[in-house]
Chain A
Amino acid sequence: MECKLVPSVCSYCGTGCGVLFEVINGKIVSTLPMKTHPVNEGKLCIKGWNLHEHVNSFMRLKQPLVKTFGRFIKTDWDEAIQLTADRFREIIEKYGPDSIGVLVSAKITNEENYLAQKFARAAIGTNNVDHCARL
Protein backbone atom coordinates (compact mmCIF):
# COMPACT_ATOMS: atom_id res chain seq x y z
CA MET A 1 0.00 0.00 0.00
CA GLU A 2 1.31 3.36 -0.98
CA CYS A 3 -0.66 6.33 0.27
CA LYS A 4 0.59 9.84 -0.27
CA LEU A 5 -1.01 13.19 0.46
CA VAL A 6 0.34 15.60 -2.07
CA PRO A 7 -0.09 19.35 -1.64
CA SER A 8 -0.84 21.26 -4.81
CA VAL A 9 -2.66 24.28 -6.17
CA CYS A 10 -6.06 24.12 -7.84
CA SER A 11 -5.67 24.63 -11.56
CA TYR A 12 -9.26 25.56 -12.29
CA CYS A 13 -9.18 29.29 -11.75
CA GLY A 14 -6.91 32.18 -10.88
CA THR A 15 -7.74 32.13 -7.17
CA GLY A 16 -5.20 29.40 -6.60
CA CYS A 17 -6.66 27.48 -3.68
CA GLY A 18 -4.39 25.02 -1.88
CA VAL A 19 -5.46 21.43 -2.34
CA LEU A 20 -4.29 18.10 -1.09
CA PHE A 21 -4.44 15.10 -3.37
CA GLU A 22 -5.00 11.74 -1.80
CA VAL A 23 -2.93 9.35 -3.89
CA ILE A 24 -3.44 5.68 -3.15
CA ASN A 25 -1.41 3.11 -5.06
CA GLY A 26 -0.54 5.69 -7.69
CA LYS A 27 -4.09 6.86 -8.33
CA ILE A 28 -5.59 10.16 -7.17
CA VAL A 29 -8.70 9.05 -5.33
CA SER A 30 -9.80 12.29 -3.74
CA THR A 31 -9.12 16.00 -3.35
CA LEU A 32 -9.17 17.82 -0.02
CA PRO A 33 -8.84 21.49 0.79
CA MET A 34 -5.59 22.41 2.49
CA LYS A 35 -6.60 23.72 5.89
CA THR A 36 -3.56 25.87 6.50
CA HIS A 37 -3.34 27.38 3.02
CA PRO A 38 -3.53 31.19 3.25
CA VAL A 39 -5.69 31.51 0.13
CA ASN A 40 -8.59 29.22 0.88
CA GLU A 41 -8.22 28.33 4.58
CA GLY A 42 -9.70 24.87 4.22
CA LYS A 43 -12.47 25.70 1.79
CA LEU A 44 -12.95 24.93 -1.91
CA CYS A 45 -15.56 25.48 -4.58
CA ILE A 46 -17.13 22.56 -6.41
CA LYS A 47 -14.49 22.64 -9.12
CA GLY A 48 -11.62 22.30 -6.69
CA TRP A 49 -13.36 19.48 -4.85
CA ASN A 50 -13.52 17.48 -8.06
CA LEU A 51 -10.02 17.98 -9.44
CA HIS A 52 -9.25 14.27 -9.23
CA GLU A 53 -12.16 13.55 -11.53
CA HIS A 54 -10.73 15.42 -14.45
CA VAL A 55 -7.33 13.84 -13.90
CA ASN A 56 -8.89 10.37 -13.97
CA SER A 57 -11.53 11.07 -16.62
CA PHE A 58 -11.54 8.76 -19.62
CA MET A 59 -12.38 11.82 -21.71
CA ARG A 60 -9.09 13.46 -20.82
CA LEU A 61 -6.86 14.26 -23.80
CA LYS A 62 -3.48 12.70 -23.25
CA GLN A 63 -1.86 13.40 -26.58
CA PRO A 64 -2.16 16.06 -29.28
CA LEU A 65 -4.82 15.74 -31.95
CA VAL A 66 -4.57 17.22 -35.42
CA LYS A 67 -7.71 18.03 -37.35
CA THR A 68 -7.32 16.41 -40.74
CA PHE A 69 -10.21 16.43 -43.22
CA GLY A 70 -12.61 17.34 -40.44
CA ARG A 71 -11.56 14.60 -38.05
CA PHE A 72 -9.24 14.65 -35.08
CA ILE A 73 -6.28 12.31 -35.59
CA LYS A 74 -3.88 11.44 -32.77
CA THR A 75 -0.31 12.44 -33.27
CA ASP A 76 2.91 13.05 -31.31
CA TRP A 77 4.14 16.35 -29.92
CA ASP A 78 6.94 16.83 -32.45
CA GLU A 79 4.59 16.56 -35.37
CA ALA A 80 1.95 18.72 -33.72
CA ILE A 81 4.42 21.49 -32.95
CA GLN A 82 5.93 21.32 -36.44
CA LEU A 83 2.50 21.56 -38.05
CA THR A 84 1.51 24.50 -35.85
CA ALA A 85 4.76 26.31 -36.60
CA ASP A 86 4.35 25.79 -40.34
CA ARG A 87 0.79 27.11 -40.30
CA PHE A 88 1.81 30.11 -38.18
CA ARG A 89 4.56 30.93 -40.66
CA GLU A 90 2.15 30.66 -43.59
CA ILE A 91 -0.38 32.94 -41.92
CA ILE A 92 2.22 35.50 -40.86
CA GLU A 93 3.71 35.62 -44.36
CA LYS A 94 0.33 36.06 -45.94
CA TYR A 95 -1.46 38.40 -43.50
CA GLY A 96 1.28 39.80 -41.22
CA PRO A 97 2.03 39.08 -37.52
CA ASP A 98 -0.95 41.06 -36.23
CA SER A 99 -3.27 38.47 -37.73
CA ILE A 100 -2.35 36.29 -34.78
CA GLY A 101 -3.40 36.75 -31.16
CA VAL A 102 -2.26 34.87 -28.09
CA LEU A 103 -4.74 34.17 -25.32
CA VAL A 104 -3.17 33.26 -22.01
CA SER A 105 -4.93 31.89 -18.99
CA ALA A 106 -5.63 32.21 -15.30
CA LYS A 107 -5.19 28.47 -15.03
CA ILE A 108 -1.49 28.47 -15.79
CA THR A 109 1.36 29.87 -13.73
CA ASN A 110 2.85 33.37 -13.90
CA GLU A 111 5.94 31.95 -15.52
CA GLU A 112 3.96 30.20 -18.22
CA ASN A 113 1.98 33.37 -18.85
CA TYR A 114 5.24 35.30 -19.12
CA LEU A 115 6.58 32.80 -21.64
CA ALA A 116 3.40 33.00 -23.68
CA GLN A 117 3.54 36.81 -23.99
CA LYS A 118 7.26 36.58 -24.77
CA PHE A 119 6.42 34.11 -27.52
CA ALA A 120 3.76 36.46 -28.90
CA ARG A 121 6.03 39.51 -28.90
CA ALA A 122 9.41 38.00 -29.75
CA ALA A 123 8.61 34.96 -31.90
CA ILE A 124 5.41 36.01 -33.63
CA GLY A 125 5.90 39.76 -33.44
CA THR A 126 2.53 40.97 -32.24
CA ASN A 127 1.19 42.78 -29.21
CA ASN A 128 -2.09 40.90 -29.43
CA VAL A 129 -1.92 39.28 -26.02
CA ASP A 130 -4.98 38.88 -23.87
CA HIS A 131 -6.19 37.01 -20.85
CA CYS A 132 -9.39 35.27 -19.84
CA ALA A 133 -9.50 37.13 -16.53
CA ARG A 134 -9.36 40.59 -18.16
CA LEU A 135 -13.09 40.79 -18.50
Chain B
Amino acid sequence: MNNKVKAWLEDGTIDVFLGYKEVDHHPLPYCFTKERLDEVDDLLLSPARYSLEKIATHMTDEEPDIKIGMLARDCNSRALNVLYLWNQLNPDNVRTVNVNCCPSRLKEHGDCSYLEPETVGAYKRRVGVDNNLALKDVEAYDETERLDRWMYEFQKCIKCYGCRNICPVCFCKECSLEHDELVRTGPLLPDVPVFHMVRAVHMAGRCIDCGLCEAACPMDIPLRLLYQKVNQIVMDLFDYKTGTSVEQPPFSILGDTVTLEPKPIEPLKVINNE
Protein backbone atom coordinates (compact mmCIF):
# COMPACT_ATOMS: atom_id res chain seq x y z
CA MET B 1 0.00 0.00 0.00
CA ASN B 2 2.72 2.47 1.04
CA ASN B 3 4.78 1.77 -2.06
CA LYS B 4 1.79 2.30 -4.31
CA VAL B 5 1.05 5.63 -2.67
CA LYS B 6 4.68 6.69 -2.94
CA ALA B 7 4.79 5.73 -6.60
CA TRP B 8 1.61 7.65 -7.34
CA LEU B 9 2.90 10.75 -5.59
CA GLU B 10 6.26 10.52 -7.33
CA ASP B 11 4.99 10.07 -10.86
CA GLY B 12 2.36 12.77 -10.47
CA THR B 13 -0.66 10.48 -10.72
CA ILE B 14 -1.85 12.33 -7.63
CA ASP B 15 -0.81 15.61 -6.00
CA VAL B 16 -1.80 14.67 -2.46
CA PHE B 17 -2.87 11.54 -0.63
CA LEU B 18 -5.42 11.52 2.16
CA GLY B 19 -4.90 8.79 4.72
CA TYR B 20 -4.27 8.52 8.43
CA LYS B 21 -1.21 9.05 10.56
CA GLU B 22 -0.60 9.03 14.28
CA VAL B 23 -0.30 12.60 15.56
CA ASP B 24 -0.03 13.28 19.31
CA HIS B 25 -1.04 9.65 19.95
CA HIS B 26 -4.27 10.03 18.00
CA PRO B 27 -4.91 8.40 14.63
CA LEU B 28 -5.81 11.47 12.60
CA PRO B 29 -6.51 12.11 8.96
CA TYR B 30 -3.35 13.25 7.27
CA CYS B 31 -2.49 14.72 3.92
CA PHE B 32 0.65 13.15 2.42
CA THR B 33 2.57 14.99 -0.28
CA LYS B 34 5.43 14.46 -2.67
CA GLU B 35 7.61 16.91 -0.75
CA ARG B 36 7.48 14.76 2.37
CA LEU B 37 7.54 11.33 0.82
CA ASP B 38 9.16 9.62 3.83
CA GLU B 39 6.05 10.25 5.89
CA VAL B 40 4.16 7.75 3.77
CA ASP B 41 5.88 5.03 5.83
CA ASP B 42 3.68 6.13 8.74
CA LEU B 43 0.47 5.75 6.75
CA LEU B 44 -2.21 4.08 8.93
CA LEU B 45 -5.60 2.56 8.29
CA SER B 46 -6.87 3.93 11.62
CA PRO B 47 -9.64 2.48 13.71
CA ALA B 48 -11.26 5.92 13.81
CA ARG B 49 -13.07 6.93 10.68
CA TYR B 50 -13.27 10.42 9.22
CA SER B 51 -14.91 11.55 6.03
CA LEU B 52 -11.80 11.88 3.88
CA GLU B 53 -13.97 12.59 0.86
CA LYS B 54 -15.38 15.66 2.58
CA ILE B 55 -11.86 16.95 3.11
CA ALA B 56 -11.25 16.23 -0.58
CA THR B 57 -14.22 18.41 -1.56
CA HIS B 58 -12.86 21.24 0.56
CA MET B 59 -9.50 20.91 -1.20
CA THR B 60 -11.22 20.89 -4.56
CA ASP B 61 -13.06 24.08 -3.61
CA GLU B 62 -9.67 25.74 -3.30
CA GLU B 63 -7.96 24.11 -6.27
CA PRO B 64 -10.45 22.59 -8.71
CA ASP B 65 -7.88 20.61 -10.70
CA ILE B 66 -6.01 19.02 -7.84
CA LYS B 67 -5.54 15.27 -8.13
CA ILE B 68 -6.36 13.55 -4.89
CA GLY B 69 -5.59 10.05 -3.73
CA MET B 70 -7.29 8.61 -0.71
CA LEU B 71 -7.80 5.55 1.41
CA ALA B 72 -11.26 4.22 0.76
CA ARG B 73 -13.23 1.90 2.93
CA ASP B 74 -16.52 0.77 1.53
CA CYS B 75 -18.34 3.78 2.99
CA ASN B 76 -15.79 6.20 1.52
CA SER B 77 -16.27 4.65 -1.91
CA ARG B 78 -20.04 4.90 -1.69
CA ALA B 79 -19.79 8.53 -0.59
CA LEU B 80 -17.43 9.21 -3.49
CA ASN B 81 -19.97 7.76 -5.92
CA VAL B 82 -22.62 10.13 -4.61
CA LEU B 83 -20.24 13.10 -4.74
CA TYR B 84 -19.31 12.29 -8.36
CA LEU B 85 -22.97 12.13 -9.23
CA TRP B 86 -23.77 15.47 -7.70
CA ASN B 87 -20.75 17.08 -9.38
CA GLN B 88 -18.94 17.76 -6.13
CA LEU B 89 -15.86 15.83 -7.19
CA ASN B 90 -14.55 14.81 -10.57
CA PRO B 91 -13.88 11.06 -10.75
CA ASP B 92 -10.96 11.72 -13.12
CA ASN B 93 -9.20 13.59 -10.33
CA VAL B 94 -9.64 11.00 -7.60
CA ARG B 95 -7.68 7.77 -7.08
CA THR B 96 -8.50 5.40 -4.26
CA VAL B 97 -6.64 2.70 -2.38
CA ASN B 98 -9.39 0.35 -1.32
CA VAL B 99 -9.20 -1.12 2.16
CA ASN B 100 -11.27 -3.33 4.42
CA CYS B 101 -14.51 -1.93 5.69
CA CYS B 102 -16.32 -1.91 8.97
CA PRO B 103 -18.22 -4.75 10.58
CA SER B 104 -21.88 -4.28 9.87
CA ARG B 105 -24.92 -6.25 8.92
CA LEU B 106 -23.55 -6.33 5.40
CA LYS B 107 -19.91 -7.18 5.92
CA GLU B 108 -18.20 -9.23 8.58
CA HIS B 109 -14.61 -8.21 8.87
CA GLY B 110 -13.35 -4.68 9.21
CA ASP B 111 -10.81 -2.32 10.68
CA CYS B 112 -13.00 0.23 12.31
CA SER B 113 -15.04 0.13 15.40
CA TYR B 114 -18.09 2.32 15.12
CA LEU B 115 -20.60 -0.11 13.72
CA GLU B 116 -20.08 -2.55 16.58
CA PRO B 117 -23.33 -2.23 18.51
CA GLU B 118 -23.13 -0.19 21.67
CA THR B 119 -25.39 -1.22 24.50
CA VAL B 120 -28.34 1.01 25.04
CA GLY B 121 -29.62 1.90 28.52
CA ALA B 122 -32.81 0.48 30.01
CA TYR B 123 -34.76 3.76 29.97
CA LYS B 124 -34.05 4.40 26.33
CA ARG B 125 -35.05 0.82 25.49
CA ARG B 126 -38.34 1.38 27.26
CA VAL B 127 -39.33 4.79 25.84
CA GLY B 128 -37.04 5.49 22.91
CA VAL B 129 -35.65 3.77 19.86
CA ASP B 130 -32.76 1.38 20.39
CA ASN B 131 -30.01 2.35 17.93
CA ASN B 132 -29.21 -1.30 17.31
CA LEU B 133 -32.64 -2.34 16.13
CA ALA B 134 -33.23 -3.35 12.55
CA LEU B 135 -35.64 -1.27 10.55
CA LYS B 136 -38.30 -3.98 10.59
CA ASP B 137 -38.18 -4.19 14.39
CA VAL B 138 -38.88 -0.47 14.67
CA GLU B 139 -41.70 -0.75 12.20
CA ALA B 140 -43.20 -3.51 14.29
CA TYR B 141 -44.20 -0.95 16.95
CA ASP B 142 -47.76 0.21 16.38
CA GLU B 143 -48.17 3.71 15.00
CA THR B 144 -48.79 5.64 18.22
CA GLU B 145 -46.02 3.90 20.07
CA ARG B 146 -43.64 4.44 17.18
CA LEU B 147 -44.42 8.15 17.08
CA ASP B 148 -43.96 8.45 20.84
CA ARG B 149 -40.67 6.65 20.72
CA TRP B 150 -39.33 8.75 17.88
CA MET B 151 -40.52 11.98 19.49
CA TYR B 152 -38.67 10.97 22.66
CA GLU B 153 -35.53 10.68 20.55
CA PHE B 154 -36.05 13.92 18.59
CA GLN B 155 -36.78 16.08 21.63
CA LYS B 156 -33.30 15.29 22.95
CA CYS B 157 -31.70 17.06 19.98
CA ILE B 158 -29.44 19.93 20.99
CA LYS B 159 -29.32 21.30 17.45
CA CYS B 160 -25.56 21.03 17.18
CA TYR B 161 -25.84 20.45 13.44
CA GLY B 162 -23.23 17.74 13.88
CA CYS B 163 -25.23 15.25 11.83
CA ARG B 164 -25.19 17.62 8.87
CA ASN B 165 -21.67 18.91 9.34
CA ILE B 166 -20.05 15.51 9.47
CA CYS B 167 -22.08 13.98 6.67
CA PRO B 168 -20.01 13.35 3.54
CA VAL B 169 -22.98 13.93 1.25
CA CYS B 170 -24.32 17.13 2.89
CA PHE B 171 -22.63 19.81 0.86
CA CYS B 172 -25.32 22.41 0.12
CA LYS B 173 -24.18 26.02 0.17
CA GLU B 174 -27.53 27.01 1.59
CA CYS B 175 -28.91 24.40 3.93
CA SER B 176 -32.64 24.07 4.56
CA LEU B 177 -31.88 23.38 8.19
CA GLU B 178 -30.82 27.02 8.48
CA HIS B 179 -33.89 28.30 6.69
CA ASP B 180 -35.93 30.47 9.03
CA GLU B 181 -39.27 29.14 7.85
CA LEU B 182 -38.31 25.57 8.67
CA VAL B 183 -35.89 25.70 11.56
CA ARG B 184 -35.67 28.93 13.46
CA THR B 185 -32.39 30.13 14.86
CA GLY B 186 -32.24 30.15 18.60
CA PRO B 187 -34.86 27.98 20.22
CA LEU B 188 -34.09 24.70 21.85
CA LEU B 189 -35.79 22.25 21.42
CA PRO B 190 -35.27 22.82 17.76
CA ASP B 191 -38.41 22.57 15.70
CA VAL B 192 -39.03 18.86 16.18
CA PRO B 193 -39.70 16.75 14.29
CA VAL B 194 -39.30 19.19 11.36
CA PHE B 195 -35.52 19.40 11.77
CA HIS B 196 -35.09 15.64 11.54
CA MET B 197 -37.74 15.13 8.89
CA VAL B 198 -36.22 17.75 6.59
CA ARG B 199 -32.87 16.08 6.84
CA ALA B 200 -34.39 12.64 6.37
CA VAL B 201 -36.13 13.73 3.18
CA HIS B 202 -32.88 15.15 1.84
CA MET B 203 -31.08 11.92 2.55
CA ALA B 204 -33.34 9.94 0.24
CA GLY B 205 -31.19 8.80 -2.66
CA ARG B 206 -28.20 10.42 -1.02
CA CYS B 207 -27.35 8.83 2.35
CA ILE B 208 -24.84 6.05 1.97
CA ASP B 209 -25.39 4.72 5.49
CA CYS B 210 -21.89 5.37 6.75
CA GLY B 211 -23.14 6.07 10.26
CA LEU B 212 -20.91 9.08 10.83
CA CYS B 213 -23.90 11.23 11.75
CA GLU B 214 -25.10 8.88 14.42
CA ALA B 215 -21.58 8.54 15.80
CA ALA B 216 -21.32 12.35 16.00
CA CYS B 217 -24.74 12.86 17.59
CA PRO B 218 -24.18 13.88 21.21
CA MET B 219 -27.70 12.70 22.03
CA ASP B 220 -27.38 9.25 20.41
CA ILE B 221 -30.45 9.72 18.26
CA PRO B 222 -30.77 6.68 15.96
CA LEU B 223 -30.31 8.73 12.81
CA ARG B 224 -29.16 5.87 10.62
CA LEU B 225 -32.47 4.07 11.06
CA LEU B 226 -34.27 7.17 9.89
CA TYR B 227 -32.23 7.46 6.73
CA GLN B 228 -32.30 3.71 6.14
CA LYS B 229 -36.06 4.05 6.03
CA VAL B 230 -36.10 6.81 3.40
CA ASN B 231 -33.62 4.89 1.31
CA GLN B 232 -35.70 1.78 1.56
CA ILE B 233 -38.55 3.79 0.08
CA VAL B 234 -36.25 4.92 -2.73
CA MET B 235 -35.29 1.30 -3.28
CA ASP B 236 -38.91 0.15 -3.36
CA LEU B 237 -40.05 2.91 -5.70
CA PHE B 238 -37.12 3.34 -8.04
CA ASP B 239 -35.02 0.24 -7.54
CA TYR B 240 -32.15 2.58 -6.75
CA LYS B 241 -29.52 1.64 -4.21
CA THR B 242 -27.77 4.80 -3.09
CA GLY B 243 -24.01 4.95 -3.44
CA THR B 244 -23.53 1.62 -5.14
CA SER B 245 -23.14 3.05 -8.62
CA VAL B 246 -22.52 6.30 -10.44
CA GLU B 247 -25.92 6.03 -12.03
CA GLN B 248 -27.96 9.17 -11.64
CA PRO B 249 -30.27 9.16 -8.61
CA PRO B 250 -33.99 9.67 -9.13
CA PHE B 251 -33.87 13.03 -7.37
CA SER B 252 -31.00 14.61 -9.22
CA ILE B 253 -32.03 17.36 -11.56
CA LEU B 254 -28.44 17.81 -12.67
CA GLY B 255 -27.15 16.47 -15.96
CA ASP B 256 -28.87 16.10 -19.31
CA THR B 257 -31.05 13.06 -18.92
CA VAL B 258 -32.86 11.30 -16.17
CA THR B 259 -31.84 7.71 -16.45
CA LEU B 260 -34.06 6.13 -13.86
CA GLU B 261 -37.62 5.07 -14.32
CA PRO B 262 -39.89 4.44 -11.39
CA LYS B 263 -40.63 0.80 -10.83
CA PRO B 264 -44.06 -0.13 -12.13
CA ILE B 265 -46.34 0.84 -9.31
CA GLU B 266 -48.74 -1.78 -8.06
CA PRO B 267 -52.33 -0.63 -7.77
CA LEU B 268 -52.91 0.86 -4.34
CA LYS B 269 -54.46 -1.45 -1.86
CA VAL B 270 -57.54 0.00 -0.28
CA ILE B 271 -56.54 0.60 3.30
CA ASN B 272 -59.75 2.13 4.52
CA ASN B 273 -62.30 -0.54 3.70
CA GLU B 274 -65.50 1.31 4.42
Contact = CB atoms under 8 A, between A and B. Distances in A.
Interface string A41-58: 011111001000000000
Interface of A: 1, 3-5, 7, 18, 20, 22, 24-25, 29-30, 32-37, 42-46, 49
B59 A43 contact: no
A3 B19 CA distance: 12
Interface of B: 15-16, 23-24, 26-31, 33, 48-50, 55, 58-59, 61-63, 66, 158-162, 165-166, 215-218
B30 A5 contact: yes
A49 B162 contact: yes
B215 A37 contact: no
13 contacts: A1-B15, A1-B66, A3-B31, A3-B55, A5-B29, A20-B50, A22-B58, A25-B62, A42-B216, A43-B160, A44-B160, A44-B218, A49-B161
Binding site secondary structure of chain B: mixed
A3 B218 CA distance: 28
Given A4-B31, A7-B24, A46-B160, A32 B166 contact: yes
B31 A46 contact: no
A20 B28 contact: yes
Contacts of B49: 35
A43 B217 contact: yes
Nearest to B27: A36
B244 to A, nearest CB: 26
Contact of A1 (B23, B29, B62, B215): B62
Contact of A32 (B50, B62, B215): B50
A5 B59 CA distance: 12
A45 B158 contact: yes
Contacts of B216: 33, 42-44
B26 A46 contact: no
Given A33-B162, A33-B216, A7 B16 contact: no
A29 B54 CA distance: 12
A17 B249 CA distance: 38
